[in-house]
Chains A and B, each alone.
Chain A
Amino acid sequence: MAMFPEARPVERFRPLEWLRENLFSSPLNGALTIVALVIIYWLVVPTVQWAIVNAVWTGGSREACLGEGAGACWPFITNRIGLILYGFYDDGERWRPILTFALLVAGILWLTLPRLPRKMLVAVLMVTIYPVVAYCLLTGGLGLGVVPTSRWGGLLLTMVVAVTGILLSLPLGILLALGRRSDLPVVRIASVIFIEFWRGVPLVTVLFMASYMLPLFAPQGVTVDKLLRALIAVALFNSAYMAEVVRGGLQAVAKGQQEAATALGLGYWQSNTLIILPQALRLAIPNIVSTFIGIFKDTTLVSIIGFFDLLGIIQSGTSDSHWASPSTAFTGYLFAAAVFWVFCFSMSRYSRHMERVLNAGERR
Chain B
Amino acid sequence: MTDAAVSPGSAKTPWWRSRRVRGLIVQAVLLAAIAFALAGLVRHVMSEQGASGFSFLNTTAGFDIIQHLVPYSETSTYGRVLLVGLLNTLLVAVLGIVFATILGFAIGIGQLSSNWLVAKLCVSYVELLRNVPLLLQIFFWYFAVLRALPGPRESFNPIADVFINNRGVYVPRPEAAPEFVWVGAAFLVGVVGAFWLRGWARDRRELTGQRFNTLPAASALVVLPPLLVGALTGFPLSFSFPELEGFNFVGGLVIIPELIALVVALSAYTATYIAEAVRAGISGVAGGQREAALALGLTRGQMLRLVVVPQAMRQIVPPLTSQYLNLTKNSSLAVAIAYPDLVSIFAGTTLNQSGHEVEVIAITMGVYLSLSLITSALMNWYNARIALTER
Decide if B117 touches A205 in the complex (CB within 8 Å).
no
A217/B40 contact (C-beta < 8 A), A184-B27, A340-B131 known: yes
Decide if B8 touches A348 in the complex (CB within 8 Å).
no
Interface segment, one of A102-110, A115-123, A135-143, A297-305: A297-305
A40/B121 contact (C-beta < 8 A), A217-B41, A304-B335 known: yes
Partner of A329 from B26, B127, B144, B335 at Cβ < 8 Å: B144
Decide if B131 touches A266 in the complex (CB within 8 Å).
no
**B244 lies within 8 A of chain A by Cβ:** no
A311/B136 contact (C-beta < 8 A), A23-B115, A213-B358 known: yes
Q: How far is the CB of A93 from chain B (nearest CB, A)?
A: 28
Measured between beta carbons, the chain B residues less than 8 angstroms from A203 are 329, 332
Measured between beta carbons, the chain A residues less than 8 angstroms from B133 are 297-300, 311, 340
Decide if B368 touches A201 in the complex (CB within 8 Å).
yes
Measured between beta carbons, the chain A residues less than 8 angstroms from B368 are 200-202, 205
**A32 lies within 8 A of chain B by Cβ:** yes
Decide if B373 touches A200 in the complex (CB within 8 Å).
yes
**A39 lies within 8 A of chain B by Cβ:** yes
Instruction: A25 to B364: give the CA distance in the assembly, Å.
Output: 54
Decide if B357 touches A297 in the complex (CB within 8 Å).
no
Decide if A301 touches B128 in the complex (CB within 8 Å).
no
Decide if A212 touches B45 in the complex (CB within 8 Å).
no
**A171 lies within 8 A of chain B by Cβ:** no
Decide if A32 touches B115 in the complex (CB within 8 Å).
yes
Decide if B23 touches A216 in the complex (CB within 8 Å).
no
Measured between beta carbons, the chain A residues less than 8 angstroms from B140 are 333, 337
Instruction: A200 to B373: give the CA distance in the assembly, Å.
Output: 8
Residue of chain B at shortest CB distance from A220:
B44
Residue of chain A at shortest CB distance from B348:
A208
Instruction: A63 to B352: give the CA distance in the assembly, Å.
Output: 40
**B143 lies within 8 A of chain A by Cβ:** yes
Interface membership of chain A positions 209-226, coded 1 if the CB is closer than 8 angstroms to chain B and 0 otherwise: 100110011111000000
Residue of chain A at shortest CB distance from B27:
A186
Decide if B343 touches A202 in the complex (CB within 8 Å).
yes
Instruction: A130 to B134: give the CA distance in the assembly, Å.
Output: 30
Residue of chain A at shortest CB distance from B28:
A186
A183/B40 contact (C-beta < 8 A), A204-B332, A208-B343 known: no
Measured between beta carbons, the chain B residues less than 8 angstroms from A36 are 115, 117-118, 121
Q: Number of contacting residues on A, CB 8 A? A: 59
Interface membership of chain B positions 309-341, coded 1 if the CB is closer than 8 angstroms to chain A and 0 otherwise: 000000000000000000001111101100000
**A253 lies within 8 A of chain B by Cβ:** no
A205/B131 contact (C-beta < 8 A), A36-B121, A329-B143, A333-B139 known: no
Decide if A329 touches B148 in the complex (CB within 8 Å).
yes
Residue of chain B at shortest CB distance from A338:
B132
Decide if B44 touches A183 in the complex (CB within 8 Å).
no
Decide if B121 touches A184 in the complex (CB within 8 Å).
no
Decide if A341 touches B332 in the complex (CB within 8 Å).
no
Q: How far is the CB of A15 from chain B (nearest CB, A)?
A: 12
Measured between beta carbons, the chain B residues less than 8 angstroms from A25 are 114-115
Decide if A297 touches B121 in the complex (CB within 8 Å).
no
Instruction: A172 to B38: give the CA distance in the assembly, Å.
Output: 20
Decide if A341 touches B128 in the complex (CB within 8 Å).
yes
**A29 lies within 8 A of chain B by Cβ:** yes
Task: Name the interface residues of B4-53: CB closer than 8 Å to any CB of A.
Answer: 8, 23, 26-27, 30-31, 34, 37, 40-41, 44-45, 48
Q: How far is the CB of A217 from chain B (nearest CB, A)?
A: 5
Decide if B48 touches A293 in the complex (CB within 8 Å).
no
Measured between beta carbons, the chain B residues less than 8 angstroms from A333 are 136, 139-140, 144
Q: Report whether over half of chain B's contact residues are helix, strand or loop; otherwise say mixed.
A: helix
**A95 lies within 8 A of chain B by Cβ:** no
Q: How far is the CB of B151 from chain A (nearest CB, A)?
A: 14
Interface membership of chain B positions 129-158, coded 1 if the CB is closer than 8 angstroms to chain A and 0 otherwise: 011111110011001100010000000000
**B347 lies within 8 A of chain A by Cβ:** yes
A297/B134 contact (C-beta < 8 A), A205-B347, A330-B144 known: yes
Partner of A266 from B1, B121, B332, B365 at Cβ < 8 Å: B1
- Chain A CB count within 10 A is highest, among B8, B26, B336, for B336
Q: How far is the CB of B293 from chain A (nearest CB, A)?
A: 20
Q: How far is the CB of A100 from chain B (nearest CB, A)?
A: 23
Partner of A208 from B26, B128, B144, B347 at Cβ < 8 Å: B347
Instruction: A10 to B108: give the CA distance in the assembly, Å.
Output: 34
**B387 lies within 8 A of chain A by Cβ:** no
Instruction: A152 to B81: give the CA distance in the assembly, Å.
Output: 36
Q: How far is the CB of B350 from chain A (nearest CB, A)?
A: 12
**B349 lies within 8 A of chain A by Cβ:** no
Interface membership of chain A positions 325-338, coded 1 if the CB is closer than 8 angstroms to chain B and 0 otherwise: 01001100100110
Residue of chain B at shortest CB distance from A188:
B27
Measured between beta carbons, the chain B residues less than 8 angstroms from A252 are none
**B102 lies within 8 A of chain A by Cβ:** no
Q: How far is the CB of B390 from chain A (nearest CB, A)?
A: 20
Decide if A190 touches B30 in the complex (CB within 8 Å).
yes
**A350 lies within 8 A of chain B by Cβ:** no
**A270 lies within 8 A of chain B by Cβ:** yes
**A318 lies within 8 A of chain B by Cβ:** yes
Partner of A216 from B45, B365, B369, B373 at Cβ < 8 Å: B45
Decide if A201 touches B369 in the complex (CB within 8 Å).
yes
**A192 lies within 8 A of chain B by Cβ:** no
Measured between beta carbons, the chain A residues less than 8 angstroms from B247 are none
Instruction: A15 to B215: give the CA distance in the assembly, Å.
Output: 44
Decide if B135 touches A311 in the complex (CB within 8 Å).
yes
A293/B115 contact (C-beta < 8 A), A202-B329, A300-B136, A340-B136 known: no
Interface membership of chain B positions 183-225, coded 1 if the CB is closer than 8 angstroms to chain A and 0 otherwise: 0000000000000000000000000000000000000000000
Q: How far is the CB of A361 from chain B (nearest CB, A)?
A: 21
Measured between beta carbons, the chain B residues less than 8 angstroms from A329 are 143-144, 148
Decide if A23 touches B117 in the complex (CB within 8 Å).
yes
Measured between beta carbons, the chain B residues less than 8 angstroms from A272 are none
Q: Which residues of B contact A (CB under 8 A)?
A: 1-2, 8, 23, 26-27, 30-31, 34, 37, 40-41, 44-45, 48, 113-118, 121, 127-128, 130-136, 139-140, 143-144, 148, 329-333, 335-336, 343, 347, 351, 357-358, 361, 364-365, 368-369, 372-373
**CB pairs A–B below 8 angstroms (19 shown):** A32-B115, A37-B117, A186-B30, A200-B368, A205-B368, A208-B343, A212-B351, A212-B361, A216-B44, A217-B37, A217-B44, A266-B1, A270-B1, A311-B133, A315-B139, A336-B136, A340-B131, A340-B136, A344-B130
Closest 4 CB pairs of A and B: A344-B131, A186-B27, A22-B116, A202-B329
A204-B343, A297-B131, A337-B136 provided; 8 other pairs, C-beta below 8 A? Answer: A33-B117, A201-B329, A203-B329, A297-B133, A298-B133, A300-B136, A337-B140, A340-B131
